[in-house]
Amino acid sequence: MAKFSTIKQHLYSKIASGEWPEHHPVSSENALAQQFKVSRMTARRALQELADEGLVIRSKGSGTYVAPIKSQTSFMAIRNIADEVRSRNHDYRAHVHVLRKEAATAHVAELLQLDAGKPVYHSVITHFENDLPVQVEERYVNPELVKGYLSQNYEEITPHEYLCEVSPLTEASHEIEAITPSPQLCQWLKLSKPEPCLRINRRTWSAAGVVTFAVLTHPGSRFSLGGHLHFGSARA
């Protein structure tokens, strides 16, 4: 394991175990460099990646602190929400609102590259972290490519897990927007009043064509986006 990854894992375990709660101070670059016998640059990389992932907050002059606990994901990767929640040692569960076959609207048919009126599979699921809703996932699936979609128990397995098993992804596109939730979304997300929400519109492909179109809606107060890029050979 790379030295900066060892430091990240050490810090992550402190946060995930609850030993370091929200707003707890995190060891400085100098302290980590001495503890792990690495350069300050290596320690800085570990802290910066945790900050990019939303786990810590770095403030010039006052140090680094454990970030408030929110649902976090990366817009540069497609991850299973159940794995994300459990990686924080939190409880995950899901509730299925809709799971049926229906005729595709013109909009959905265009996104799935089907003819309007063709049958599609439609699901709506709320995902919970410690009994608090963190995502409403509305998904349309091409039944020609995923025939068994409606027969799965999505309170035991997520659509992401099932789709990766039966139709491995080769391509994906994302659009991210801020929205005001509808009354129905407020109910599913247990919002006492509308608050800004972040919505990710995602299409995924397999080798055979467009597999799904998903709309993932998160309450802004329980969610953040983060990520970290590595460049093989950066040029000015």
- Residue 235 neighbours by CB under 8 Å, 6+ apart: none
pLDDT band at residue 110 using 50, 70 and 90 as cut-offs: very high
pLDDT band at residue 1 using 50, 70 and 90 as cut-offs: low
pLDDT tens readout for residues 220-230? 888 766 655 44
| Lowest pLDDT segment from 2-6, 114-118, 122-126, 186-190 | 2-6
pLDDT attached to residue 184: 96
User: What is the pLDDT averaged over residues 31-44?
Assistant: 93
| Lowest pLDDT segment from 141-145, 147-151, 169-173 | 169-173
Query: Please, where in the chain does CATH 1.10.10.10 lie?
Result: 3-66
pLDDT attached to residue 232: 45
CATH number of 3-66: 1.10.10.10
pLDDT tens readout for residues 188-221? 999 999 999 999 999 998 888 899 999 999 998 8
pLDDT attached to residue 97: 98
How many percent of the chain have pLDDT more than 90?
53
Q: What does each C-alpha distance from 222 to 30, 70, 94 come to in angstroms? A: 32, 5, 16
pLDDT attached to residue 61: 77
User: What is the pLDDT averaged over residues 35-53?
Assistant: 88
What is the number of H-type helices and E-type strands within the chain?
Answer: 7, 11
Average pLDDT, the chain: 86
pLDDT attached to residue 234: 39
pLDDT attached to residue 100: 98
> How many other C-beta atoms lie within 10 A of the C-beta of residue 32?
22
How many percent of the chain have pLDDT more than 70?
90
> So what's the architecture of 71-225 in CATH?
3-Layer(aba) Sandwich (3.40)
- Residue 82 neighbours by CB under 8 Å, 6+ apart: 92, 94, 127, 158, 160, 161
pLDDT tens readout for residues 166-185? 887 778 888 888 999 999 99
pLDDT attached to residue 235: 38
**What does the angle CA 231 – CA 80 – CA 171 come to, to the nearest 5 degrees?**
55
**Taking a C-beta distance cutoff of 8 angstroms, is the pair 108, 143 a contact?**
no
pLDDT tens readout for residues 55-79? 888 887 788 998 876 555 555 566 7
